[in-house]
Every structure is written in structure tokens, then in C-alpha cells.
Amino acid sequence: MREYLAILTEQAVLWIDVVALLVILGGTVQAIIGMAKVTVTGASANARRAVWLHYARWLIAGLTFQLAADIIETSITSDWEAIARVAAIAVIRTFMSHFLEKDFNELREREEESS
């Protein structure tokens, strides 16, 4: 039974990592297209910042999937390196979320002031 659980866990981790990769790739493509549009049109600094904030949201979503995969992976291992990796991803994601929310609120305030 334990071997079956290990195989199932490995497959789940693989597929969740694939989802994380697709989320990050999708966000990267959107960011490249968004920045190209902003550059060509000569849009404001707020428009550029909005593109980067949107990209940061995609990155956080990707990190969240990676964190989920790592949590599942560490459930069948006692390797301290894997546990440290999960902790590092969780800390990075927490800081990114905090600063993204701060930047998003600042951008919203600027847009309200300008309108």
C-alpha cells in the first residue's frame, strides 16, 4: 500500500508541477505582450506597473502550485532539504503576496486620484 501511495504522490507532484509551469509560462507570455503594447503605445508609468502587477499575480499563482506539489512531496519524505525547500517557497510566496497587495493598493489610489 505504501508503494502505491508513493507512486500516486509522485504522479500528483508531476502534474501539479506541469500546471505550475503552464501558469508561469502563460503569465510570462501575457507580460511580454503587455509590455510590448505599453512600449509601442507609449503608455503611462501606471500602465506599465499594471502589466507587472498582473504578471506578479501569475507568478504567485505558479508558486502556489509549486508549494502544493512540494507539500505533497514532503508528505512521503523525511529529507530535510525538501522540507527546507517548502519553507523557502512559502516565505517567498508570502513576501510576494504582501508586496503585490501593497503595490496594487498604491496603483488603485493613483488611478482614483487621477480620475
Cell 510576494 locates to 96
Q: Among 14-18, 44-48, 58-62, 90-94, which range has the highest average pLDDT? A: 14-18
> How large a percentage of the chain has pLDDT more than 90?
28
CB 67 within 8 A of CB 90: yes
The structural domain count of the chain equals: 1
Amino acid at residue number 102:
K
Pairwise CA distance, residues 56 & 107, whole Å: 14
Instruction: Supply the pTM of this predicted model.
Output: 0.75
Domain with 12 in it: 2-114
Question: What is the signed CA dihedral for 49, 55, 60, 61, rounded to 10 degrees?
Answer: 140
Cα distances (angstroms) measured from residue 99 to each of 12, 33, 67, 93: 30, 23, 19, 10
